[in-house]
C-alpha cells in the first residue's frame, strides 16, 4: 500500500460519524428487532411455559430497569448461577442493557472457586437458582462486601435448596418497567460479558468479551451453520460456557425459539426433539456420546434431520458417524473461551459427500478453517510465529487473530500481553495444517484434561493432591475415556513411612477439596519418571495411563 493515507483525501472531509450513520454494534438490538418483527412468535419454551418475543423483550427490559433502579450500571458486574432457564437467557440482554457486564458462573464449581470469581470479578449483584443455594451460600459467606442477591425460584425445579437473597427473580421483574429505555453501549469495545476459564495454572482467568465481538460471532454462527429463519434451538450447551457460544444472541437474530433444559439427559433431549420439533442443538462430544448410547426406552425416532453443532473437544470420528446414522447432521467447530467459543469450523466441501461414511467422519473430525469473522488462523512455531508447512504432519501451535478474540484477561494485563504476544492470540493448542488448508488438533496444551465438555487443569488437581499428608509427589494426565472423552489419571508417589492409602482414599480426598468433576477417576501409586533436570515426564505417564 502506498504511504499516503486516506486522511489527505476529500473522502475524509465532511463525511464523519453521526447519529444517522453510526451505531456501536451490540447483539442486544437483535432482540429488539425480533420483538418488533415477530412479536407473537414463541421465543422461549420452559416446561409448560411459553414466552413470546414481545414478552421476552419486555421481561429483559424489566430486568434492566429493576437492576438499574438498584444502582447497577456501566462497569458493574452481574453474576448469574443458573442452568439453562429463561432467566439465564434474559440476563444476556437485561444485564448489558444497563451497561453492566454479565458473569455467567459454571454451576459445577466449588464454593471456594465461586467465591474467588465473585470477588475477582467484582460482582455487585448475583442472580442464583435455588438448586445451587448450597454452594452459593458457602461462597457468599466467604465473599467480603455486600452483593444484591436475587433468587431464581423456578417452578420447574422441585429439589432441595433455599432462597438466599432479598428478592425473588419474578418479583424483581414485577418491579421493573417493560418499556425501560435502554441504550446500547457508547462504544462497541465496551465489555458485555466476563467468562472465567478453569485455567491450566493457578487461579481462573476472567475472559472479557465486548459488544462488537458478541455481535459478530452471533451473526457468524448463522452463516457457519447456514441457519434458516425461525429455528427451534434446544439448550443442551450450558450458557455459562462462552455465553452458550453466543447463541442466546444468535437465536434472536434469526427469530428462533429457545427450548430450555435444566438438566442434560438423553431422555430429555429426545423428548424435546419430539415435542417441540427441535431443529438445532449444540453440545460437546460427550453430549453426542450420551445421545448415541441412550438406552432404548429413551430413544425416539428423529423424523427430520436435526442439526448438531459440536465443539469443546475433538469429537471421535466414530461418534460423528454414529450420530449421522440415526438422523443427526453434525457441524464440527472449534474454539476456546478466549475467542467467544467457536472460531474455526470444518466447512464442508460437496465433493466429500461421495466418500464412505468413516472417511467422511474422519474429515469432519478435523477442526477446519477460520470462521468468516476470524481474520487470521495459522499453525505456527510457538516462538517465532513462523507458519508451519501445510503438510498434515508438522506440528505447531494454533494462533488466531481477529474481531472475535477477547478484549483480554480481566485485571491481568501480563496474562493478556503474553496471550497476545506478536499480535496473535496463542491458543496453547497444538496441531497441523493439512495440504487443503484445514487445521487438525493433535494435542491440547499438555496439561489440560477435557472431560465431558469441561476443561480441567491437571495442576489444580496436583495442587490438591499435594495437600494430602501422605503424598510426596503427584502428576495428573488425561486418560482416554469412552464416556467422558478424557478423565484425570493421577500418579502419586507416597511419602516413606506414610500410613497406607488406597485409590478410593485419594479420590475421596480430592472430592472433599475441589469440584467433584475435577477429581481423578484413576490413581496409580509409585515413583514418577523424570528428566535429567528433574522434570516429570508427562508423556510417559500419558502412555502408562492409556495402557491401563
Residues 50-89 touching a second copy, rule: CB under 8 A, are: 68, 71-76
Q: What are phi and psi of 392, to 5 degrees?
A: 70, 5
Q: Which is nearer to a second copy, 349 or 516 (CB)?
A: 349
**145 scored as a contact of a second copy (CB under 8 A):** no
CB distance 149 to 126 below 8 Å: yes
Q: How far apart are CA 130 and CA 124, in angstroms?
A: 19
Cα–Cα nearest to 492, from 507, 474, 510, 479: 474
Instruction: Find the binding residues for a second copy in span 211-270 (CB under 8 A).
Output: 219, 222-223, 226, 228-230, 253-254
E strand residue ranges, 434-516: 439-443, 448-451, 454-457, 471-481, 485-494
Nearby residues of 433 by Cβ (< 8 Å), 6 or more positions away: 378, 379, 387, 388, 389, 390, 391, 392, 396, 439
CB distance 81 to 132 below 8 Å: yes
Q: Cβ 145 to a second copy, closest distance in Å?
A: 15
Q: Which is nearer to a second copy, 185 or 341 (CB)?
A: 185
Torsion region of 518: left, alpha or beta (phi above 0 gives left; psi -120 to 50 gives alpha): alpha
Cα 15 → chain centroid: 40
Query: Which stretch, 260-268, 277-285, 412-420, 463-471, contacts a second copy (CB under 8 A)?
Result: 412-420
Instruction: Find the binding residues for a second copy in span 172-201 (CB under 8 A).
Output: 182-183, 185-187, 189-191
Q: Cβ 217 to a second copy, closest distance in Å?
A: 12
Q: Cβ 401 to a second copy, closest distance in Å?
A: 5
Residues contacting a second copy: total by CB under 8 A:
88
**408 scored as a contact of a second copy (CB under 8 A):** yes
Cα–Cα nearest to 95, from 22, 153, 172, 204: 172
Q: Cβ 371 to a second copy, closest distance in Å?
A: 9
Q: Cβ 219 to a second copy, closest distance in Å?
A: 6
Instruction: Report the DSSP pairing between strands 341-345 and 369-370.
Output: antiparallel
**Matching residue, cell 432404548:** 296
Q: Cβ 108 to a second copy, closest distance in Å?
A: 26
**411 scored as a contact of a second copy (CB under 8 A):** yes
Q: Which is nearer to a second copy, 338 or 486 (CB)?
A: 338
**416 scored as a contact of a second copy (CB under 8 A):** yes
What residue spans of 277-379 are helical by DSSP H? 285-292, 317-325, 357-364
Q: How far apart are CA 513 and CA 118, in angstroms?
A: 19
Query: Which stretch, 9-17, 355-363, 379-387, 464-472, contacts a second copy (CB under 8 A)?
Result: 9-17
Instruction: Find the binding residues for a second copy in span 314-373 (CB under 8 A).
Output: 347-350, 369-370, 372
Strand partners, 127: 80, 150
Instruction: Find the binding residues for a second copy in span 15-54 (CB under 8 A).
Output: 15-23, 25, 29-30, 33, 36-39
Q: Which is nearer to a second copy, 3 or 297 (CB)?
A: 3
Q: Which of 14, 159, 295, 356 binds a second copy (CB under 8 A)?
A: 14
Q: Which of 86, 94, 99, 314 binds a second copy (CB under 8 A)?
A: 99
Amino acid at each position: 500500500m502506498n504511504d499516503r493515507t486516506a486522511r489527505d483525501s476529500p473522502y475524509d472531509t465532511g463525511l464523519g460519524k453521526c447519529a444517522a450513520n453510526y451505531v456501536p454494534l451490540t447483539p442486544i438490538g437483535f432482540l429488539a428487532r425480533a420483538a418488533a418483527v415477530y412479536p407473537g412468535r414463541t421465543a422461549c419454551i420452559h416446561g409448560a411455559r411459553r414466552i413470546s418475543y414481545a414478552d421476552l423483550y419486555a421481561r429483559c427490559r424489566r430486568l434492566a430497569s429493576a437492576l438499574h433502579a438498584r444502582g447497577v450500571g456501566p462497569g458493574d458486574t452481574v453474576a448469574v448461577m443458573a442452568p439453562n432457564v429463561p432467566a439465564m437467557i434474559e440476563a444476556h440482554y437485561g444485564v448489558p442493557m444497563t451497561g453492566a457486564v454479565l458473569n455467567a458462573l459454571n454451576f459445577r464449581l466449588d464454593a471456594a472457586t465461586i467465591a474467588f470469581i465473585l470477588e475477582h470479578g467484582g460482582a455487585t449483584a448475583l442472580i442464583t437458582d435455588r438448586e445451587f443455594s448450597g454452594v452459593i451460600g458457602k461462597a457468599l459467606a466467604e465473599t467480603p462486601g455486600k452483593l444484591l442477591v436475587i433468587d431464581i425460584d423456578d417452578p420447574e425445579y422441585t429439589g432441595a435448596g433455599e432462597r438466599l437473597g432479598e428478592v425473588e427473580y419474578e418479583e424483581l421483574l414485577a418491579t421493573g418497567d417493560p418499556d425501560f429505555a435502554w441504550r446500547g453501549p457508547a462504544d462497541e469495545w465496551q465489555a458485555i460479558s466476563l467468562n472465567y476459564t478453569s485455567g491450566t495454572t493457578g487461579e481462573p482467568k476472567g475472559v472479557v468479551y465486548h459488544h462488537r465481538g458478541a455481535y459478530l460471532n452471533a451473526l457468524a454462527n448463522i452463516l457457519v451453520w447456514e441457519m434458516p429463519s425461525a429455528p427451534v434451538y434446544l439448550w443442551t450447551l450450558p450458557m455459562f460456557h462462552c455465553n452458550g457460544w453466543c447463541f442466546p444472541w444468535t437465536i434472536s437474530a434469526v427469530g428462533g425459539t429457545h427450548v430450555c433444559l435444566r438438566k442434560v439427559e438423553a431422555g430429555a433431549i429426545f423428548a424435546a426433539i419430539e415435542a417441540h420439533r427441535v431443529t438445532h442443538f449444540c453440545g460437546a462430544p460427550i453430549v453426542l456420546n450420551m445421545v448415541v448410547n441412550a438406552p432404548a426406552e429413551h430413544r425416539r425416532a428423529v423424523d427430520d434431520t436435526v442439526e448438531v453443532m459440536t465443539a469443546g473437544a475433538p469429537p471421535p470420528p466414530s461418534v460423528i458417524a454414529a450420530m449421522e446414522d440415526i438422523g443427526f447432521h453434525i457441524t464440527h467447530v472449534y474454539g476456546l473461551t478466549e475467542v467467544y467459543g467457536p472460531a474455526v469450523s470444518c466447512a464442508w466441501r460437496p465433493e466429500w459427500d461421495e466418500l464412505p461414511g468413516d472417511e467422511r467422519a474422519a474429515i469432519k473430525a478435523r477442526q477446519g478453517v477460520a470462521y468468516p469473522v476470524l481474520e487470521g488462523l495459522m499453525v505456527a512455531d510457538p516462538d517465532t510465529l513462523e507458519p508451519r508447512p501445510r503438510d498434515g504432519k508438522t506440528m505447531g501451535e494454533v494462533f488466531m487473530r481477529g474481531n472475535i478474540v477477547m478484549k483480554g484477561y480481566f485485571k491481568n494485563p501480563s496474562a493478556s500481553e503474553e496471550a497476545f504476544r506478536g499480535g496473535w492470540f496463542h491458543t496453547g493448542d497444538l496441531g497441523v495444517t493439512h495440504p487443503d488448508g484445514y487445521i487438525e488438533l493433535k494435542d491440547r496444551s499438555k496439561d489440560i484434561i477435557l472431560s465431558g465438555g469441561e476443561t480441567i487443569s491437571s495442576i489444580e488437581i496436583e495442587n490438591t493432591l499435594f495437600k494430602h499428608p501422605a503424598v510426596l509427589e503427584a502428576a495428573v494426565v488425561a486418560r482416554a475415556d469412552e464416556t467422558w472423552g478424557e478423565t484425570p489419571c493421577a500418579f502419586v508417589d507416597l511419602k516413606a513411612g506414610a500410613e497406607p492409602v488406597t485409590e478410593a482414599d485419594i479420590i475421596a480426598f480430592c472430592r472433599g477439596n475441589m469440584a467433584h468433576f475435577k477429581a481423578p477417576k484413576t490413581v496409580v501409586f509409585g515413583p514418577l519418571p523424570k528428566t535429567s533436570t528433574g522434570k516429570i515426564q508427562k508423556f510417559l505417564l500419558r502412555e502408562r495411563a492409556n495402557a491401563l
